[in-house]
Amino acid sequence: MANLNSLLIFAKVVESGSFSQASIKLAMPLSTVSRKIAELEDQLGVRLLERSTRNLRLTDVGAEILEQARRTVDVNESIESIASNRIAEVKGMLRLSAPPSISESLLAPLVSAFQAAYPEVRVSIMVTDRLVDHIAEGVDLVFRVGALKDSNLIARPILRYRHLLVASPKYLADVKAPRRPSDLLDHRLFAFSFLSKENSWMFVRGEQQESISFQPYLSMNDYAGLATALISGGGIGDMPPIVSLGFLKAQDLVEVMPEWRFKTVDLSIVHLGNRHISRAVRVFKEFATQMAPKLFNELPS
């Protein structure tokens, strides 16, 4: 059976009138075009083209095979047209996973805007703070903070920011404000964690670094809940600005010890690198990359 790709090349050579012109139209090396035609002739056991330094001439059997080759071209173009039209329609199911801390501040407005632009896409979201198995759990894209350890994953950063050390004005009015990280050990510290007896924070100030380890006065694996507790005047805690930016603007929370800072982190969209991704997934990645910075255009870095 003749190779379909070789038949397409054969038709293009005849249409172009030369091997060199066909190689240009096919964006294929001249040597490859010539080899494919030779392989097709060997496969069929007949001569398809008579070659000279200036001209190509179809043999009688070559003329008959050309008709079949042209039909192959027509069928191929029809298939590509159908596929292209289908690809142009952004629809289907999009399965996402994200940590709880961004479900309200980022994910809800992002997905709502995406579905307004692409109403044929259905979205399913799994909110969890654990690492997700993309294949076993059928997830297309995962929102993840920090560096990747799995080399099979591809990450597309969409936001870069640093956590803020914050407290309510009410709390700070009744205590001696800390001036360096070690002073924090004299305060009630809130931390994002679960079933962890001890937490640690690393701070930088220029070239200086200082870390502390502590037992949280309150620990919770939900930043929104921690923000509410901090606003009530319970203590000092770290908050990602994508959760606390509104509280900071409203002066419900203020930054503590601003000259000492947490390191910056990336929030990325992650997917497996060894799988074909759908049109909906590709479009959502681009959409999120462009829209996320617009939702948070004043993030501290």
Query: Rounded to 5 degrees, what angle do the CA atoms 41, 44, 48 make?
Result: 40
Are 201 and 240 members of one domain? yes
Q: What SS3 state is found at 122?
A: strand
Contacts of residue 123, Cβ cutoff 8 Å, sequence gap at least 6: 93, 94, 95, 96, 111, 114, 115
Locate tokens 């095979």: which residue? Answer: 65
Are 126 and 272 members of one domain? yes
pLDDT at position 251, please?
86
CATH number at residue 102: 3.40.190.10
Q: What is the mean pLDDT of residues 74-97?
A: 66
Q: Is 278 inside any structural domain?
A: yes
Are 96 and 75 members of one domain? no
- Is residue 189 a contact partner of residue 217, using CB atoms and an 8 Å limit? yes
Q: What is the pLDDT of residues 125-179, one digit of tens each?
A: 888 877 776 666 778 888 988 766 666 778 889 999 999 999 999 999 999 999 9
Structure pTM? 0.62
Total number of domains in the chain: 3
pLDDT at position 84, please?
52
pLDDT at position 176, please?
92
Give the integer Cα–Cα distance in Å for 102 and 226. Answer: 14
Residue 23's pLDDT band, with cuts at 50, 70 and 90, is confident
Are 171 and 244 members of one domain? yes
Q: Is 39 inside any structural domain?
A: yes
Q: Is 301 inside any structural domain?
A: no
Closest by alpha carbon to 269, among 91, 122, 110? 110
Q: Domain range holding 113?
A: 92-160+266-295
Q: What is the pLDDT of residues 43-62, one digit of tens each?
A: 888 888 887 766 788 888 88
pLDDT at position 74, please?
60
Q: Is 241 inside any structural domain?
A: yes
Q: Is 280 inside any structural domain?
A: yes
pLDDT at position 278, please?
82
pLDDT at position 73, please?
65
How far, CA to CA in Å, does 270 sit from each of 30, 126, 152, 273? 40, 14, 10, 9
Are 197 and 251 members of one domain? yes
pLDDT at position 78, please?
52
CATH number at residue 49: 1.10.10.10
Residue 197's pLDDT band, with cuts at 50, 70 and 90, is confident
Are 119 and 183 members of one domain? no
Are 117 and 235 members of one domain? no
